Amino acid sequence: MPLFNLNFSGEFENIQSLVADSDVRYFLTLQCSNCGENFQDIYISPEETVEVVKKEVHLMIKCKGCQRKNNTVQIVLNSQNPISGEEGNGTFVTLDCRLVKYEKKDIMK
């Protein structure tokens, strides 16, 4: 159960804090940990859930390469944090990735 932090770094000018809206979508590039198949521009939203084997996750992917079905990503409960201060550095959200590797991200579009 690898946990990945989406970190934000920037300089704020006339902004006290940065907070994600409730309808934010995080765009990710993921890779199947079994066969290496890439999933590009996959988005995950805190408002959208899917039930997989008696639990709810925010994203479930079936790999076309190896046919593995339960590749899941879940936003860790209470991990969406506001970023504040003049430097604006910190963890924006934490993701629990199962059977997928996290490649790169464009945090919000």
Chain mean position to CA 5: 8
Dihedral (Cα; 27, 7, 72, 64), 10-degree rounding? 50
Residues facing 29 on adjacent strands: 104
How do the pLDDT tens digits run along the chain, 109 residues long?
688 888 887 777 888 888 877 788 888 888 998 898 988 888 898 889 999 888 899 999 989 989 988 888 888 888 877 887 766 788 888 889 888 887 765 555 4
Chain mean position to CA 67: 22
**Is this structure's pTM higher than 0.75?**
yes
Q: In whole angstroms, give the CA distance from residue 65 to residue 69.
A: 11
Name the residue among 26, 21, 8 with its Cα closest to residue 87.
8
